[in-house]
Amino acid sequence: MKKISIYIAAAILLLGGFACSDYLDKEFDSSLSEEKTFGNEALTRGFLANIYTNLPDGFAPLGDTQFTGASRDCMTDNAVTSWGLHYYTKIGSDGYTAANHPLLGFWNTNTYGIRKCNQFLKNAKVSVVGNYERDGDDNKLYDRYCAEARLLRALFHFDLVCWFGDAPLIGDDENGVPVVFDLSDPAAMNQPRTKAAEVLAWVAAECDKVKDVLPFRYSNETSNWGRVNGAVAYALKSRALLYRASPLYNSSGDKALWASAAQAAKDFISRNQQQSSPYKLYSTGNTANDYYECFTANPVYNNELILARSVWNTNQIEHVFMPVGFTGSFSAAGRTNPTQNFVDAYEMKNGKRIDEAGSGYDASNPYKDRDPRLAQTIFYQGMVWGRADKEEQRAIDMRYTSETDKGIDYSSSMGGTYTGYYLKKYVNNISCKEPATFPHSWIIFRYGEILLNAAEAVNEAEGADNARQYVNELRARAGMPAYSGMTQDQLRERIRNERRIELGFEDHRFVDSRRWKLFEGVTLANEKSKPYYNQLLNLYGVHITGTESAPVYTFGLAETVNSRVFNNPKNYHFPIPADEVKRAPNLGQNPGWETSGTDDAETDDTGSE
C-alpha cells in the first residue's frame, strides 16, 4: 500500500519550547497508508488538522534564540537585533546566498503545505466524512473540509509570492484533479514558476470558490478556533488583490486593479456587517491600553482576530522581547530593538508629524503627547514596568555614559539595545520572581488590517474623500484625530504610515515596503536629508546619558547595526533555495541570485509587470 509522505517534521521542530493548547496542532501519524487514513473519519479529520501546522507563525521562530529569536521586523527599517548570530542581520546586509538561505523554511513550509492540501482534496471521501444537512458548523461536513483545504492551499501559495515572487502554481490538473507530484520522479516536479501577479489573481479566484461555502464565522468558535472560515477567504482575497494592484506587480498603475482590491475589502466589511456577531476592533474605550490589550488579552475571545495561529501558553515571548534588566528566576533577553525610524513615525497626539509646524514635539521630552500606540508598542526610557504586587515595578533605564555608568536595561550577557528601545507589543507584565505563562497566538488576519486594505485601495481607486473613513476608524480606537482635507497623495503617505505603526511587528513591513517599491532610487547617501521616519537604509536610535531623573537624549545612527543594504532588483525577493533549483531547474532563480550558489540554474525575471 502507498505510504503518505506529508513532511511535517520541519514544522513541528520549529515549535520547540512552546506549549500548545489547540487541537489543530496535534501531530498526525505520517506512517499510515492513504487507504487507512482516508478510510477513517477521525484520521481524515486529523490529516486536515495537521495541514494547519504549515500556517505562518511569527512566534514559533522565537524558540530558537540563537538564530531566529527576534521579530522578523529586524529585517526592515522598523528594528534591529543586538544578537549577532540572528539570521535577520544577514538578510539586512545581503550577506547570504541561495546556497545558504537563512530562511529556507518559508519555501519548504509552504510547498509541503500545498502538497498536503492536494493530498487531502484528492483522497478525502464523502462516504467516510459524510455530507449531511445539519444545523450548526458541521453542515455538509465533506464540503466544508474540502473548502478548508482549498483555502489553505491558496494561503500557502500567497505566502510563497510574498517571500519569493513568482511561484509554482500547484493546483488542479486539466481534469480538475489536485496535483500531487510523485516524489520519486524529479522530472514531474520540474515545473516553471507562474508570474506572481497571476498567482495572486488565482488566489483571489480560489477564495471566491469557498468564501460562501464555509461559515463566515463558526457558531462554536471555542472548539473551532484557529480554523479557516469564510471570513478568512474574504480577508485573503482582500490582501491578495491589494498586493496585485501595488506598484511591484502593477507597474502600469492600472486603476481597475485598485478598484478590484477596493471592492474586495468592501465585500468583507459588508458581509461582516450582516453577522449577528461581526468582527470588530478590540476596544473597551480605553485608548491608552486597548491597542496593547489586543495583543495580550486571551486571543480566543478577541473579536478583532479573523485568523490566528494556535494558542501557545508560554513566556518565551516575554523572555525574548523584554528589557534586559528584568531578571530573576526568569530573565529577559531584549533581542528586538525598534529603531528611531520607527519611533519617529508616530505622530503627536494632535495628529501632526513630529517635524511638522505646530506639533509641539520636544526633543528633550520626546515621548510626551505622542500617539498613544507608541507607549503600547515600545519600551522607552523612563517608562514604568514590572509587577508592583511582586515589588518589581520600576522605571526602565537604558542610559549609557561608560561601562561603569550605565542603566540596568542597557545591556547584559543575554542581549541589550542598540537603539535605546525594546519591543513591548505582545509582552505581558510578567513577574521575574514567580514567572507565569500567558496565551499567545500569532495573528494572520485581523479586522484592523481589513480597514487599512480598504483605505489604501479606495484611496487609489476613488480618491481621499471615500477612503478616509476606514483609516479614521482605526485612529479613533487609538484616540487619534481623524484625517480630513487631504489630497490623494497626502492621504497615501498617511495611510502607509498608519499601516506601518498599526501593523508593526506583524510581518507586514518587509512586504509592504517592497510592494510599494519604496527602495527605488534610494541610497545610503541620498536619503540622509529625509526625516528619520522616511529613511529605509540608515537606521537610527537614541543615545541616552544624564541621570534617571534628567536624561539627555542624543539621536543618531544606531549602535553597531545601523544600515541596510538593498540591491535592486535582487532584494525584492528571497532566492529560491539552491538545492530546489538544482533538482528542478525549470523553477529558475530570482534576478540577482543566479550566481549565488546556483550557477547551473536558469534565470527568471522579476515577476513584475
The pTM assigned to this predicted structure is 0.93
**In this structure, which amino acid lies at residue 468?**
R
Convert the pLDDT of each residue in 246-257 to its tens digit.
999 999 999 999
**pLDDT above 90 (res 602):** no
So where are the chain's domains?
231-302+444-503, 575-609
Confidence of residue 596 (pLDDT cuts 50, 70, 90): low
Q: At what angle do helices 105-123 and 141-164 cross, to 10 degrees?
A: 160
Convert the pLDDT of each residue in 457-508 to its tens digit.
999 999 999 999 999 999 999 999 999 999 999 999 999 999 999 999 999 9
Residue 599 and residue 320: Cα distance in Å, rounded? 39
pLDDT at 32: 75
What b/e sequence results for 156-167 when a residue is b if at least 16 CB atoms lie within 10 Å of its CB, and e otherwise? bbbbbbbebbbb
Please compute, for residue 423, the number of CA atoms within 13 A of its CA located in the half-sphere on the CB side: 32
Average pLDDT, the chain: 92
pLDDT at 310: 87
Confidence of residue 124 (pLDDT cuts 50, 70, 90): very high
**In this structure, which amino acid lies at residue 297?**
A
Convert the pLDDT of each residue in 370-401 to its tens digit.
999 999 999 999 999 999 999 999 999 999 99
Cβ count within 10 A of residue 362: 11
Q: Are 436 and 251 in contact (CB under 8 A)?
A: no
Please give the average per-residue pLDDT across 435-444, as a whole number.
Answer: 97
Residue 422 and residue 416: Cα distance in Å, rounded? 9
Please give the average per-residue pLDDT across 218-232, as a whole number.
Answer: 95
Confidence of residue 185 (pLDDT cuts 50, 70, 90): confident
Please give the average per-residue pLDDT across 155-175, as a whole number.
Answer: 97
**pLDDT above 60 (res 11):** no
Whether residue 569 has a cis bond before it, omega within 30° of 0: yes
Q: Are 598 and 99 in contact (CB under 8 A)?
A: yes
Grid cell at residue 426: 505582545
Please give the average per-residue pLDDT across 43-49, as a whole number.
Answer: 96
Main-chain dihedrals φ then ψ at residue 469, nearest 5 degrees: -55, -35
Cα–Cα nearest to 343, from 382, 384, 373: 373
Cβ count within 10 A of residue 201: 18
Highest mean pLDDT range out of 96-105, 187-196, 422-431?
422-431
Task: Give me Rg for the CA atoms of the chain.
Answer: 24
